[in-house]
Amino acid sequence: MNKPLILIVNDDGISAPGIRFLIKTMRKIGEVVVVAPDSPQSAKSHSITITTPLRYKTIEETKDYREYSLNGTPVDCVKFALHRLLQNKPNIIVSGINHGSNASINIIYSGTMAAATEGAMGGIPSVGFSILDYNENADFSYSESYITDIVNKILADGLPKNTALNVNFPKSNGKAYNGIKVCRQADGYWREDFDERLDPRDGKPYYWLKGDFLLHDKAEDTDEFALKNYYASIVPVKFDFTDYNNISTIKSFEI
C-alpha cells in the first residue's frame, strides 16, 4: 500500500519549533511535503499575495520527503503546493503546530487555521494544530499521541465535506493532558489598545497594537473551557459565513 501524502504548512515560518515537531511526527505516518513561509506570518488570516510575485526555495528533496519555503502567506503556501508543486492531491493537510492559541475569536486572525480552511475549500481533509505556548522551547510532547490519532483517523475515514478541524493544546504543565473535547468556538473579543512611542528620526508618534482578551462566554461546551481545564480542544470549522438564523430578520427590513 502506498504511504499517504501529507502536506504540512504553518504560519510561524519554516524554522519554527512547532512545524519541526509536526514534520517529525508526520514522517512516522506518511510521505511528507512541507511548504511553509520563509518568515513568520502570524495574524495574516486568509490573506493572499497578489501585488508582489512569489518565489520558492527547495530545501530538501528525497524519495519520501520534500521541503520548500515560500515568500508568501500560509494560504499562498497551500495554493502554491496544490496548484504548482504537487503532482498528486495530498491525502491530508496539517497546519502548525502554531505557537499561541487559536481558540475562540483568535481563529479569525490565524494564518494557521486559514491554511487548514483553504485546504478544506479545495476538498482536502485539513486540520490546524496550535499550542498555548509562545516559547521557543514549548513542550509539544503530550500533543504527539493526539496528533497521531487525529491524523490517522482522518486518513482512514475523512472529514465531512467543507469542514476543517481546529485543534488547540494547553501549555504543558509537565503531565499528560486530561483528554480531548469536541467544542464550539467560545465567544470572546480582543479589547485593543495602541502603545504610542515617538520616532527618534522625526519625533512623530508611531503605534504598536496590544490588547487584552475578554472571554464573554462562561459556558462549558467551549474550546476556552476545555483548554482551561487542561483538555485539548477540537472545533469543527466551516467557511460558509452566512448567518442563517438572521436571514429572516434581514428580509423583514424590506429595503
Q: Pick out residues in 90-149 that bind a copy of itself (CB under 8 A).
A: 105, 107-109, 111, 114, 117, 121-122, 146, 149
Nearest 5 degrees, angle CA 89-CA 92-CA 96? 125
Closest CB to a copy of itself among residues 63, 83: 83
166 binds a copy of itself (CB under 8 A): yes
230 binds a copy of itself (CB under 8 A): no
SS3 69: strand
* Interface pick for a copy of itself out of 63, 175, 197, 201 (rule CB under 8 A): 197
* Interface pick for a copy of itself out of 1, 53, 63, 212 (rule CB under 8 A): 53
* Interface pick for a copy of itself out of 24, 28, 89, 153 (rule CB under 8 A): 153
88 binds a copy of itself (CB under 8 A): no
Cell of 73: 502567506
Going from the C-alpha of 120 to that of each of 75, 91, 124, 164, the distances in angstroms are: 12, 11, 5, 6
- Which residues between 199 and 218 bind a copy of itself (CB under 8 A)? 204-209
Segment interacting with a copy of itself, rule: CB under 8 A, options 88-96, 128-136, 168-176, 198-206: 198-206
- Which residues between 5 and 34 bind a copy of itself (CB under 8 A)? none
Buried b (16+ CB within 10 A) or exposed e, 230-243: bbbbbbebeeeeee
Segment interacting with a copy of itself, rule: CB under 8 A, options 1-9, 17-25, 47-55, 88-96: 47-55
155 Cβ contact list (under 8 Å, min separation 6)? 4, 29, 30, 91, 92, 125
CA distance 133 to 139: 8
Closest CB to a copy of itself among residues 64, 162: 162
Nearest 5 degrees, angle CA 9-CA 146-CA 93? 25
Segment interacting with a copy of itself, rule: CB under 8 A, options 24-32, 58-66, 168-176, 239-247: 239-247
